[in-house]
Structure formats: structure tokens, C-alpha cells
Amino acid sequence: MVRSEVERRGTGRELLIIGVPKEIYPGERRVALVPAVLPTLIKAGFEVHVQAGAGIEAGYPDSHYSDKGAKIVGDRTAVFSAADIIVQVLCYGSNDITGKEDVPLFRRDQILVGFLRPFGEAPVIQEIAHSAVTSFSVELMPRTTRAQSMDALSSMGTICGYKAVLVAATSHLRIFPMMTTAAGTITPARVFVIGAGVAGLQAIATARRLGAVISAYDLRPAAKEQVQSLGGRFVELPIEAQDAQDARGYARAQGEEFYRRQRELLGQVVKESDVVIAAAVIPGKKSPVLVTEDMVKGMAPGSVILDLAAERGGNCEITERGKTVIKHGVTIIGAINLAAGVPYHASQMYAKNMTAFLTHLIKDQKLNLNMQDEIVRETLVTRGGEIVNARVREFFTLPALVAQG
């Protein structure tokens, strides 16, 4: 039970407190909860404390929170001190720049929910574990119908795919749509999307709405119908991936020989494209290199590559994480944290996901740690000073935990 695990400090209060601190990752403008979800949380038996100014950069002033029943708290330390549950967008782990500042504020058995980057740096996840918080990583949410309303990774992928096309369009020397003008006809831009996951599909849809001609590739055969339904041409290569998709719906990593052949076949399509949106990400793995420097050299001057896989090394061989560079006349954008560029709706979507997750986790003021529940089992990362997630332990080659009888 949460009330027996979380320090009460003799207050005698009955309601569990959700704390929403201001995001501290540089340039982060999102907020974990928005005013619209507060009535649902309050009705479910929560009290919500929001750090002053937490939502301002996303378009949600403090007055909107207080109008919906939240308590505005001026001090970050006070938010952590009072809260039974801390909800963030980028927790320590995914916030590798300033997130460590929050570690001294953690309390034993406090619940931490947000993006943790569980397959990032082992010492960071160990540090979170040693703080004895009960942490849940939202990027581990299973891709099931039951968990769909809690799938923050898909929500943020949607935002990133949309924003990626806008950033690429404003960086390109040409316009996207075909136009018939007094100066003659302008041909449409050719956009090639590599990786037709959630972000890639939204990129296809957005580029299509802007009037571009779309091609897309994904190693998963099931993606063909989705690409075509959005008006894109699916690029089929005469090679076949082995076990292209895992049980969770994500692409599986392939051997180097497959990627070498894939690069050979993709080269001509890349060369003919004005814009390439690279969105091929393998969860927990370094991003596969699909666009080589030689392929970049073959592109027309002024072309743009936006690499959504930049955070994990990039799909383009010469991507620089977090930077925009021009090489061989091509602009290569190593975008990270693109969702922060659309903070109002990104926060709205994330907050709805978190509300669904919190009301699933907490019933009658008790933490539901039913490990038979796939949602709980897959997202729970640390508890009682240990990394308890089986996938995370396996990734970092930690010994399996012995079940307590």
C-alpha cells in the first residue's frame, strides 16, 4: 500500500499527492500535467501540487491550474517533499544534463513516473534505484490495446514526426507543394521517409498535407499498407529481414550484412530525394546507419536530412547529435527533443497518457503492484533499492533477481 510505504511525516492527511515540478532539461517547454486532466485526478482521490510556472512555457499559466483545483507551490524542493508521486516528462535518466539535481530530493518509496531512458547509462539507472524510489518508465509501455491510452512514446512520436517535417521544410531551399504560377509551374518536393513507425507515419501524413511527393521504406512488410493509406509510395527492396518485427510491434535489429545491402539499395532513392526524414529506431539499440556519407555526397545541393534517430547515434553516418550541420552541400539536422517545440499539444497528449496510467496504478489510495499485470510489470524499473525490470536487467547483463517466497 502506498500509504504504508510513503513517508507521512505525521500530517494525518488522507489524499495521495501528485507533484508536478517544472521541467529543467535545457530548452524543455512541456509540462507533465495540464489543467484539463486535474478534475479526473481529483475525482480519483488525488491532490495535485504544481510548481509555480511549471506550465507557462507550454501555454498553461498557474491560474488555470488553481482554477481546476491544484495547489501552486513556489519551491521545487517543497513539491518533492510533499508528493507521494512525482510526474515528470524528462526524469533523471532521460535528462542527462540537469536531471541529477533532483536525486537528493527523492524520498524512499516515493513514486516516480516519466521518461527515464531505461536502456541508457547503467550508472544512472543504478543511482535512481539506490535512491529507493519506485520508478516507472513510460517508454516501456506495452503496445497493446489495453495500454493504448497510456502510450506516451507513441504520443510524442506523433508530435516529433509532425515537427520534423516542418523543420525540414523551413530548412530546405524549395517549397513543398506543386504550384502553377505566373512564372510557370513549380514541381513538388520529393520527401523520402525511412522508418514507418509512429513518427515516420506522421511525417508522411504531414509532408503529404504540405503537398510533397512521398516515398517511404520500412523493413517490416506490415508497414506497406500503412504507408500507402497515407498516400505514400512504399519502396520495396529485394532483400528480406529476418524476424523484422518483435511481439511489441517494434522493428528488430538486423545483422550488418543486411544493413550493408540495404544501404546499397536505398542509395538511389536517397539521391533522388530533396528531403530525407530518417526515423528508424530500434528500442534499446544503437540506431542503424542507413544513409552513408557517400550517399549524402550524391544528393543535390540544398537537400535536407532530418535524423530523428540522432539521440541514439543517428541513421545518417555523419549526423551530429543535437546539431545542424552542412556537409557536401546538404543540411543534416541531428534533432533531439523535437516534441518540446510543440509544447501545448505535446503536454496535453502526455498529460492524458499519464492520467490514464496513474488511475490504473493507484486504486483506493493503494499502489497496484500486481506483477501479473503486463502494464505494471513492463514499466516498473526500480523498487526498494533495486532495478527490478527483467528487460533492463538483461540489457545491462545484471543477474536475474531471485523471487522472494
Instruction: Note the pLDDT of residue 403.
Output: 65
311 and 376 inside one domain: no
Taking the C-alpha atoms of residue 32 and residue 37, their distance in angstroms, rounded to an integer, is: 11
Instruction: Note the pLDDT of residue 245.
Output: 55
Yes or no: say if 80 and 102 are a contact pair by the CB < 8 Å rule: yes
* 405, part of any domain: no
CB neighbour list of residue 285: distance below 8 Å, 6 or more residues apart: 253, 312
| In the block, residue with C-alpha cell 506523433 | 158
Yes or no: say if 338 and 163 are a contact pair by the CB < 8 Å rule: yes
- Domain-ending residue, one of 304, 336, 368: 336
329 and 352 inside one domain: no
- Residue burial 353-378, b: 16+ Cβ < 10 Å; e: rest: bbbbbbbbbbeeeebebeeeeebbbb
* 239, part of any domain: yes
Q: CB-based burial of residue 133 (10 Å sphere; 0-12 exposed, 13-18 middle, 19+ buried)?
A: buried
265 and 359 inside one domain: no
Residues 263, 268, 270: CA angle, nearest 5 degrees: 75
Which secondary-structure segment (H or E) carries 258?
helix 256-271
Along the 405 residues of the chain, how does pLDDT read in single tens digits?
A: 444 444 444 445 578 999 999 999 999 999 999 999 999 999 999 999 999 999 999 999 999 999 999 999 999 999 999 999 999 999 999 999 999 999 999 999 999 999 999 999 999 999 999 999 999 999 999 999 999 999 999 999 999 999 999 999 999 999 999 999 899 999 999 999 999 999 999 999 999 999 999 999 998 888 999 999 999 999 988 776 665 555 555 666 676 777 778 888 899 999 999 999 999 987 777 888 999 999 999 999 999 999 999 998 999 999 999 999 999 999 999 999 999 999 999 999 999 999 999 999 998 888 888 999 999 999 999 999 999 999 999 999 999 887 654
Q: Whole domain around residue 62: which residue ranges?
A: 2-140+342-395
Which secondary-structure segment (H or E) carries 333?
strand 330-333
191 and 272 inside one domain: yes
- Domain-ending residue, one of 320, 336, 352: 336
User: What dihedral angle (degrees, nearest 10) is formed by the CA atoms of 145, 252, 202, 58?
Assistant: 80
Instruction: Note the pLDDT of residue 247.
Output: 55
* 148, part of any domain: no
- Domain-ending residue, one of 299, 319, 336: 336
Instruction: Note the pLDDT of residue 8.
Output: 44
Residues 370, 373, 377: CA angle, nearest 5 degrees: 80
324 and 372 inside one domain: no
Instruction: Note the pLDDT of residue 1.
Output: 42
131 and 176 inside one domain: no
* 332, part of any domain: yes
List the catalytic residues.
143, 148, 151, 154, 250
Instruction: Note the pLDDT of residue 10.
Output: 42
- Selection from 202, 262, 243, 210 nearest residue 226 by Cα: 202
E runs forming strands in 97-247? 111-115, 134-137, 179-181, 184-186, 190-194, 213-217, 233-234
CATH number of the domain encompassing residue 242: 3.40.50.720
* 220, part of any domain: yes
Instruction: Note the pLDDT of residue 3.
Output: 46
3-state SS class at 233: strand
Which residues is 330 bridged to in the sheet?
A: 327
53 and 130 inside one domain: yes
184 and 313 inside one domain: yes
* Total domain count, the chain: 2
